[in-house]
């Protein structure tokens, strides 16, 4: 036979701080309290929580679920709470678990019954989903502006260096000459797509969950379009179960953030290589580097290295969020509380990184002589010689072979293709004419690639100017 549980006595524990304490017969331990609380990190949603609550209260007053006086009281209380938060005077209590309950408790302290009516027809489940979306919308807007500033900075350097030649690499082997401007504009393309991706993600962020309440909706005559309108949402979530449990929008954002950092990381890798004394293509401003505590000669590219490193955590946040969601049945589960720290961290990391990189790119000092010297090694114009023969009727495969022989000969002699005389070059193919050296110069090579998307200085200038105008 089952034993009857002891009847809970009144005031068995002094845990009245918790909104549901009436239902429980024993308090949670301090560790469990800490384990389940989110206020330490979700308090950064506070102003969005207030914004959402005010819209909800205004709607409740419009549909006469609360009185105009209640709404006025709630507004007054929230104004004071906002002031307290901004002044750093608000008392955040871990006993109150999260940002929502902390603010609600203070509201009740300040305005009494009106504060107790605020939560009518809503749940923390739709409340938190709304807060995150309001917050993320603002973050996305900031990041899009930063991405455009970054593209502007890249295009500014690209315009100045539209004619600066360096070797382009494949497999980290010298491939063909390109211009430094062209190289930088490749990144401007990536960050342009990143901005588009964020703008697209924003469309799905900017939809209102409020009204879904805990999961099934509410029996009160709520006006969801009014709340959406007040909060600047484009639409309302169409299914209450989905509204409270969907975190696709956060995953999409984390994926977009991971791609931004991946692009930053690729650029960082190049900056580190370019700045290595063995390469010496660029120098970074001292404010982005540090020295060594032991080796006096060192100037280390710390900022690009750290950005490359921080890409790991932003990629990790994406995987964490995907993993968080994969096992969850509908609708809300407490697991969802784990969505925030990674999401916040991704937004913070990308924001800080982009802010620094706008300045960092502007501070790149280009060393054109080193770039040129590197482009002159490694037979970067071999393809141009092959193309030259093709233009004189030689099939491309034959031209390729003839030039390969020439390159081999140069390697033996320790010289460049351009160092061979016309007569010497003609030994490799009879189609070689007196004008052959015009295509063996670096300038001739890049200028010849003047189609859309090519590395010719004229095209690079055009492309840079276009981006500068777009991002002005």
Residue with token string 């509201």: 107
Helix (H, G, I), strand (E, B) or coil at 174: strand
CA nearest to 236, candidates 223, 218, 251, 252 = 223
CB of 321 to ligand ARG, least distance (A): 13
CB of 298 to ligand ARG, least distance (A): 46
d(CA 331, CA 333): 7
φ/ψ (deg, to 5) at 353: -65, -45
Nearer to ligand ARG, 124 or 310 (CB): 124
Nearer to ligand ARG, 18 or 383 (CB): 18
CB of 337 to ligand ARG, least distance (A): 4
Could you tell me which residues come within 8 angstroms of residue 161 by beta carbon, excluding any fewer than 6 positions away?
A: 179, 180, 181, 184, 366, 368
- Confirm if 266 and 184 have CB atoms less than 8 A apart: no
How many CB atoms neighbour CB 101 within 10 A? 20
C-alpha 316: how far from its chain's center?
13
Nearer to ligand ARG, 51 or 336 (CB): 336
Length of the chain: 472
Residues that bind ligand ARG (CB under 6 A): 38, 42, 98, 124-125, 128, 332, 334, 336-337
CB of 188 to ligand ARG, least distance (A): 38
Question: For the chain, how far is it from start to end, CA to CA, in angstroms?
Answer: 79
CB of 236 to ligand ARG, least distance (A): 19
| Active-site residue list | 171, 292
d(CA 460, CA 453): 8
- Confirm if 369 and 281 have CB atoms less than 8 A apart: no
Nearer to ligand ARG, 149 or 336 (CB): 336
Nearer to ligand ARG, 148 or 337 (CB): 337
Written as one string, the DSSP assignment of 297-356 is T--B-HHHHHHHHHHHHHHHHHHHHHHHHHTPPSS--GGGGGGHHHHHHHHHHHHHHHHH
CB of 125 to ligand ARG, least distance (A): 5
């Amino acid at each position: 036979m089952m034993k009857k549980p002891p009847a809970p006595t009144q005031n068995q524990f002094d845990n009245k701080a918790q909104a549901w304490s009436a239902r429980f017969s024993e308090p949670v331990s301090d560790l469990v309290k800490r384990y389940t609380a989110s206020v330490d990190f979700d308090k950064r949603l506070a102003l969005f929580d207030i914004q959402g609550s005010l819209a909800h209260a205004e709607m409740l007053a419009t549909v006469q679920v609360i009185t105009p006086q209640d709404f006025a009281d709630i507004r007054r209380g929230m104004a004071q709470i906002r002031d307290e938060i901004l002044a750093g005077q608000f008392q955040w209590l871990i006993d109150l678990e999260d940002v929502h309950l902390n603010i609600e408790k203070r509201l009740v302290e300040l305005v009494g019954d009106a504060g107790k009516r605020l939560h009518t027809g809503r749940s923390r489940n739709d409340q938190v989903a709304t807060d995150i979306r309001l917050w993320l919308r603002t973050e996305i807007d900031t990041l899009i502006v930063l991405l455009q500033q970054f593209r502007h900075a890249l295009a500014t350097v690209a315009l100045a260096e539209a004619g600066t030649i360096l070797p382009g690499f494949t497999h980290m082997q010298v491939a063909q000459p390109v211009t430094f401007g062209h190289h930088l504009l490749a990144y401007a393309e990536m960050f342009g797509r990143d901005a588009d991706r964020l703008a697209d993600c924003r469309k799905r962020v900017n939809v209102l969950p409020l009204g879904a309440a805990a999961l099934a909706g509410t029996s009160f005559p709520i006006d969801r379009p009014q709340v959406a309108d007040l909060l600047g949402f484009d639409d309302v979530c169409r299914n209450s179960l989905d509204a409270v449990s969907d975190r696709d929008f956060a995953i999409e954002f984390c994926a977009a953030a991971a791609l931004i950092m991946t692009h930053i990381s690729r650029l960082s890798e190049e900056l580190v290589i370019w700045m290595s004394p063995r390469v010496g293509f660029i120098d970074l401003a001292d404010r982005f580097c540090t020295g060594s505590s032991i080796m006096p000669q060192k100037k280390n590219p710390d900022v690009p290295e750290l950005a490359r490193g921080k890409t790991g955590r932003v990629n990790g946040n994406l995987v964490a969020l995907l993993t968080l969601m994969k096992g969850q049945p509908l609708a809300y589960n407490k697991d969802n509380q784990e969505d925030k720290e990674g999401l916040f961290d991704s937004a913070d990391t990308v924001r800080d990184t982009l802010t620094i990189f706008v300045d960092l790119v502007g501070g790149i000092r280009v060393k054109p002589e080193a770039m040129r010297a590197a482009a002159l090694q490694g037979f970067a114009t071999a393809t141009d010689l092959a193309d030259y023969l093709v233009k004189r009727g030689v099939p491309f495969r034959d031209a390729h072979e003839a030039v390969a022989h020439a390159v081999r000969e140069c390697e033996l002699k320790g010289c460049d293709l351009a160092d061979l005389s016309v007569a010497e070059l003609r030994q490799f193919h009879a189609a070689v004419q007196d004008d052959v050296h015009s295509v063996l110069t670096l300038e001739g090579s890049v200028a010849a690639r003047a189609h859309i998307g090519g590395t010719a200085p004229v095209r690079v200038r055009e492309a840079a100017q276009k981006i500068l105008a777009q991002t002005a």
